[in-house]
Structure 1
Amino acid sequence: MVGLLEKMLPLTEEEKDILEYRRVMKARYTSKQQFIIEANKFLAPGTEIMIRKHTRFIDFPPHRHDYIEMNYVYNGSLKQTIGDRAVELQKGELVVLNQHIEHEIEACGTEDIIINFIIQPSFFNYIFSFLNVEGPFYSFLIDSIHGSEPLGQFLYFKCAKEASVQQLLRKMVEEMMEPDAYSQASIKLYVGMLMIELAKKANTLDGKQKLSLHNQWIRQTFAYIDEQYKHASLYELAKRLNQPHYLLSKVIKKQTGKTFKALLQERRLDIAKELLVQSDLPVSVIAQEIGYDNFSYFYQIFKKHFHTTPLVYRKKHASSPPQ
């Protein structure tokens, strides 16, 4: 029986081009003048996560991404310079990079099998409420997704001996190599579980990362919105935190770049999407379920946010395999 490693050793079409032309085809990764790798070059519309094998045999020049990236060493090792720091990952280790940091990668050999995770920042809004223990991983995500300043950051997890982390990573690699109609849904669940495991495994973090934002009010804001999205209000949250509502409003805006109302609206619309695809509830009922008594207003903001109507969104996604 052929093992996973053997299945990943053959050349991809991308690697065949690399070996033929001996250079990185920039247009394959970005349409921008700067080398910013774009998620839409890999992700299908409406998809938030993809995992793929990193291209071997050539140095990747300095670049950034417009998404959150994880590099996981399935076999061999990976040498790269992240910001101004040289990092060499060994088998079983992983690094998480936000979309603001530049890195360059040394060429990998034939048996250096690196798995790249491409994750849209919007995915992390789904799991913020689960990361309810303060720590560096939560702060890293808040900085990356909702920070008002573009801070380049990364986290290096020396987690090769952490069985729970390795088991989840292996399951995702299996889904990548042997996909079926449920693989995308499975991978999303596994990534969410992995984020929680990494948050718990702060002891495996390389201790040299410096994280700036660690704000308990922001954590509590996301938890409150996730739990009380139907009736949530800034005034009620301020009362819970025993803070003036105007001060809390300023802190939320400064730290996330968004108002409380915008954060609440994003969460409500995310839930509306799930209900449209996963239930047969009338759109008017869904609007009420997420806190909008005015159906016309719900219809207007849904169309503005997703560039389509609720009914068209339902028809488009309800018949598709789970995402």
Structure 2
Amino acid sequence: MKADIYDKLTALTEEEIRILNGESEVNKSLYTDAGKFIIDSNKLLPKGQLIDIRKHTRFIDFPEHNHNYIEVNYVYQGSLTQIIGGRKIRLEKGEIIFLNQYIAHEIKASNEDDIIINFIIRPEFFDYMLMLLDDQNVISKFLITTLYRDYDAGEYLYFKVSEKKEIQNLLERIINELYEPSILSTAAIKLLVGLLLVELSRNSHNIEVYSTNNYEKMIIINVFKYIDQNYDKATLAEISEKLKQPNYKLSKLIKKHTGMTFKELLQEKRLSKAIELLKISSYSISEIIECVGYENPTYFYKIFEKKYGVTPRKYNDH
């Protein structure tokens, strides 16, 4: 790692200085405005940015909390002890853990020589990466559920890959790009994270998984995957037939596990795809409406404005 970046990682932060000077509790206002301790990505990520890193705060126990983003803890130096679901996990140098939005964890105080790097990643960052991985891959399954905000099962993936040089090199390159961004960093980071996921998936024997990985969850994952691939023409009848489930039963399972109906899940996906096309394509709005599967422009305008507070034409200026 570059010497100047290493110096930044080892230097005391303002928060750590206050702790060493006697502050006995984590200042939750730095991380959230909510009553519950749910760390807010808006507190840590600049507006519009999908991924960033920050050094984990040392010298103090970090109380149990959730976050509204995907967190990846990477032990660059030393170790990290955390408690997840009542179980103590000690990560050693070079190891990584992925935590989804719904997992609650507590982190024990780190020492001066412990350098833990936290990747803060909004779920939509992973949207395009699903095509890189096999449908049955454990990482792919994890990512699919992270992309649907109403699937609220806590999950983590713990990668014991300290001896894998390719993975360590990729992590270091990602850290360098995030600490010293250039004009090409956004593209480089996406490419590097994609390569990292591929390398991690090749080492599936080194992954420890915590998940409510049961029969019902597998059905819901298949529903998510179906919507992701067929959002422009998806129907409940078709996916019910594919999964050999009666319509009413599948509807109940979707509502139970996501809090949404099939129609609502499909609408979420179509609207997020419309936003993506508005940002990156030269399509007209009428072409985008057709691309995402709506036949009635008036209805599309109505649900779009209800969700985002502006019309599609004004969205990019918002």
Alignment TM-score, normalising by the size of structure 2 = 0.84
How big is the shift at 1:236?
Answer: 2.4
Alignment match, 2:300: 298
> Residue 317 of structure 2 aligns to a residue in which SS?
helix
How big is the shift at 1:175?
Answer: 1.5
How big is the shift at 1:274?
Answer: 1.8
Alignment match, 1:134: 136
Alignment counterpart, residue 79 of structure 1, candidates 70, 78, 81: 81
Percent identity at matched positions? Answer: 46
Alignment match, 1:288: 290
Alpha-carbon distance between aligned partners in 1 of 2:140 and 2:272, rounded to the nearest angstrom:
21
What letter is aligned with 1:106?
K
Q: Map Cα deviations across residues 258-296 of structure 1 (whole Å, 9 max, x no partner).
A: 222222222222221221111222112111121122222
Alignment counterpart, residue 260 of structure 1, candidates 256, 259, 262: 262
Residues 293/89 of structure 1: CA separation in 2 closer, same or farther (3 Å cut):
same
Alpha-carbon distance between aligned partners in 1 of 2:249 and 2:67, rounded to the nearest angstrom:
34
What letter is aligned with 2:250?
L
What letter is aligned with 1:245?
N
Residues 50/306 of structure 1: CA separation in 2 closer, same or farther (3 Å cut):
farther
Alpha-carbon distance between aligned partners in 2 of 1:14 and 1:82, rounded to the nearest angstrom:
24
Alignment match, 2:3: 2
Alpha-carbon distance between aligned partners in 1 of 2:13 and 2:238, rounded to the nearest angstrom:
54
Alpha-carbon distance between aligned partners in 2 of 1:213 and 1:195, rounded to the nearest angstrom:
24
In the alignment, structure 1 segments of 5+ residues that lack a partner are: 317-323
Compute the RMSD of aligned alpha carbons: 3.0
How big is the shift at 1:181?
Answer: 4.1
Alignment match, 2:13: 12
How big is the shift at 1:73?
Answer: 0.7
How big is the shift at 1:90?
Answer: 1.0
Contact 1:142 1:213 in 2 (8 A): no
> Residue 311 of structure 1 aligns to a residue in which SS?
helix
Alpha-carbon distance between aligned partners in 2 of 1:121 and 1:141, rounded to the nearest angstrom:
8
Structure-to-structure mapping, 1:112-191, within 5 angstroms: 112-124=114-126, 126-128=128-130, 131-134=133-136, 136-140=138-142, 150-191=152-193
Alignment match, 2:53: 51
Moved more, 35-44 or 14-23: 14-23
Alpha-carbon distance between aligned partners in 2 of 1:137 and 1:179, rounded to the nearest angstrom:
27
Alpha-carbon distance between aligned partners in 1 of 2:153 and 2:245, rounded to the nearest angstrom:
28
> Residue 44 of structure 1 aligns to a residue in which SS?
coil
Moved more, 184-193 or 144-153: 144-153
Q: Map Cα deviations across residues 126-149 of structure 1 (whole Å, 9 max, x no partner).
A: 545655433554555566665978
- Runs of 4 or more consecutive aligned structure 1 residues displaced over 6 Å after TM superposition: none
How big is the shift at 1:87?
Answer: 1.7
Alpha-carbon distance between aligned partners in 1 of 2:151 and 2:241, rounded to the nearest angstrom:
28
Aligned length: 315
Residues 212/152 of structure 1: CA separation in 2 closer, same or farther (3 Å cut):
same
Alpha-carbon distance between aligned partners in 2 of 1:236 and 1:40, rounded to the nearest angstrom:
38
Alignment match, 1:315: 317
What letter is aligned with 1:219?
I
Alignment counterpart, residue 246 of structure 2, candidates 244, 247, 253: 244
What letter is aligned with 1:18?
I
How big is the shift at 1:179?
Answer: 1.5
Alpha-carbon distance between aligned partners in 2 of 1:201 and 1:249, rounded to the nearest angstrom:
36
Alpha-carbon distance between aligned partners in 1 of 2:206 and 2:107, rounded to the nearest angstrom:
23
Q: Does 1:275 align with 2:277?
A: yes
Alpha-carbon distance between aligned partners in 2 of 1:42 and 1:26, rounded to the nearest angstrom:
13
Contact 1:128 1:223 in 2 (8 A): no
> Residue 206 of structure 1 aligns to a residue in which SS?
strand
> Residue 3 of structure 2 aligns to a residue in which SS?
coil
Contact 2:144 2:225 in 1 (8 A): no
Moved more, 81-90 or 7-16: 7-16
Q: Map Cα deviations across residues 210-239 of structure 1 (whole Å, 9 max, x no partner).
A: 533354433332333233222222222233
Alpha-carbon distance between aligned partners in 1 of 2:196 and 2:238, rounded to the nearest angstrom:
33
Alignment match, 1:22: 23
> Residue 163 of structure 2 aligns to a residue in which SS?
coil
Alignment TM-score, normalising by the size of structure 1 = 0.82
Alignment counterpart, residue 92 of structure 1, candidates 91, 94, 98: 94
> Residue 315 of structure 1 aligns to a residue in which SS?
coil
Residues 291/29 of structure 1: CA separation in 2 closer, same or farther (3 Å cut):
same
Contact 1:62 1:104 in 2 (8 A): yes
